[in-house]
Amino acid sequence: MPRPRRRLASTCIGTVAAGLLATGAALAAPGKDQSGGSDIAMGAYLDYGPSGVARIPYLSRWLGGRQIRVGHTYLPGDRWAGIEGNVGFLQDWADWRRAEDERMFVLNVPMQEHNEGRVPDHQVAQLIRAGAGGLYDRHFKRLAERLVELDVPDTVIVLGWEMNGSTYTHRCGPDPENWKAYWRRVVTTMRSVPGQEFTFDFAPNRGTDAIGWTRCYPGDDVVDVIGMDTYDQGPGRSFDDQVTQPYGLQEHVDFAKAHGKRISYPEWGLFRRGDNPEYVRRMLKWIEQHKPLYHTITDYCPHGVWQCKQNPQSAKVFRDALTPEKPGPVIPTPVVPTPVVPTPVVPTPHVPTPQVPSPQVPTPPVPKPSPVTPSPQAPAPTTPSPLVPSPQSPAPVSPSPGVPLPATPVPVTPSPQLPTPQVPVQTSEPTPQLPTPEAPDPTPAPVPTPVTPSPAAPSPVPSPAVPKPEPTPPQPPQPAKPAVNTMQWCVPLNFGEWLSRLVGRQSVCVQLDWGRASGFWPF
């Protein structure tokens, strides 16, 4: 894996720092806001010393104001003095960390001096066994005290990073078991310092490299986070190959989950394949999916995206993905007054509406039916009662005009019809004879059928015409009644109603003289 640049030439620090600040300012022009990135703590390795601290605000501006929460640097591993933290730049990082509570200080700590001195395996094995025996405990105790003294006791310690590789003197391959014992001794020593709150990050290379990194795992009790350094290089041509390869990205996630640990990506970036925006895109999506505790891209060439100008397409992908989404400025829409164009008023010609007379349909008056008031002179209808024949002749009754009454069906009681006594006509020789009354006809008179009036619609009913009463004509003198038991038999003549009124009632009488001794006289 690539080696961070760690130069401790104090004589040129001021000059280099001034030049880097100027370069960072020139590269930090704010860009256009794009889609927002993840809220996972992120950072970048910008430089190990004060210049790395100074570049953080400019990287934030380049990412559209995104907060850089992780400050990442390395202790020099050439001498034990550097590993003990006896370097001036730790003060700068401690000041940056204390400025805000949300910030995280990540410090890579070598486990051996001459860490990049290409020490052969047999010497590495001897150094590992010495460390496991406690020979180097004092160096790590001094480092812990230094960090607590700087008021950064919660520093994330990436101890003996990339131990499964073949580069560093603190590699695990020459003696894995003693290496694990050495790791445990270092962690125990640093945790023994009062006030410490350190987080120990076990971070191998992706892939097998010199040894499978799980063989170097020292134990859950001395590891807080399981990290991984991963760059765009073999083994694996594509990002999918890097996920599925042995000891690859997926095995890293699965291993940490099985041990109940958070994951991290202390180093990641481009390497050996040039500008590769697809790799950057896929890696950022992988980080977003698996939510590591933090991630920091190695931002110098050939790995970086901001300070390395040879990867412009990857830089654009990185920037677009991590720039927070901000609402654009509200630009008021200019109100353009609409010109008021008067609408010409065209007079509408008045067309008189022809008046169509409504036909007058006369409503026929419907006369109200007047109640028929019977005249006081109209005799009330009575039920005839049977008359007992009497020898006396009733006095003739002059008919008086009557007023017709409404036909009211009255049940008629049948009664025997009695003959009307006939008045004999007076002759020259009136012999009073009493005619023998005829026997009553036993046949009863026909009973009138009651007429039930049918209901009909009301119609104009004319008032009943009341006949004007006429004077009763004088009656002619009535002839003397014939004697009873006479021999004279009289038959009345009927000339009709009108003629009878004119000439009077006449009778034809026949004299029968049978003699009383003849034996035929019925009386």
State pLDDT tens for residues 342-388: 666 666 656 566 565 665 655 655 555 555 444 444 444 444 444 44
pLDDT at 296 over 80: yes
> Distances in Å between the alpha carbon of 4 and those of 72, 74, 90, 158, 231?
11, 8, 17, 14, 14
The mean per-residue pLDDT over the stretch 321-341 comes to 73
Tens of pLDDT, residues 492-513: 666 667 676 776 666 666 665 5
CA angle 112, 116, 119 (to 5 degrees): 75
Specify the 3-state DSSP secondary structure of 294.
strand
- Give the pLDDT score at 333: 72
- Give the pLDDT score at 235: 86
Percentage with pLDDT > 90 across the chain: 53
Percentage with pLDDT > 70 across the chain: 56
pLDDT at 23 over 90: no
pLDDT at 6 over 50: no
Please state, rounded to an integer, the average pLDDT across all residues of the chain: 76
> Distances in Å between the alpha carbon of 29 and those of 24, 36, 58?
9, 18, 8
pLDDT tier at 331 (50, 70, 90 boundaries)?
Answer: confident
Domains recognised in the chain with CATH numbers: 10-322 (3.20.20.80), 482-523 (no CATH)
Quick check: pTM over 0.85?
no
- Give the pLDDT score at 246: 96
Establish whether the linkage from the previous residue to 302 is cis, with ω within 30° of 0: yes
The mean per-residue pLDDT over the stretch 441-447 comes to 44
> Distances in Å between the alpha carbon of 63 and those of 29, 92, 98, 101?
10, 23, 23, 21
Tens of pLDDT, residues 373-426: 444 444 444 444 444 444 444 444 444 444 344 444 444 444 444 444 444 444
Tens of pLDDT, residues 128-154: 999 999 999 999 999 999 999 999 999
The β-bridge partners of 158 are: 108, 201
Residue 33 CB: number of other CB atoms within 10 A? 16
* Nearest alpha carbon to residue 152 among 222, 73, 51, 82: 73
Cβ neighbours for 53, distance < 8 A, ≥ 6 positions apart: 71, 89, 92, 93, 95, 96
Tens of pLDDT, residues 246-281: 999 999 999 999 999 999 999 999 999 999 999 999
Q: For 33-114, where are the alpha helices, taking DSSP H only?
A: 50-62, 80-83, 89-99
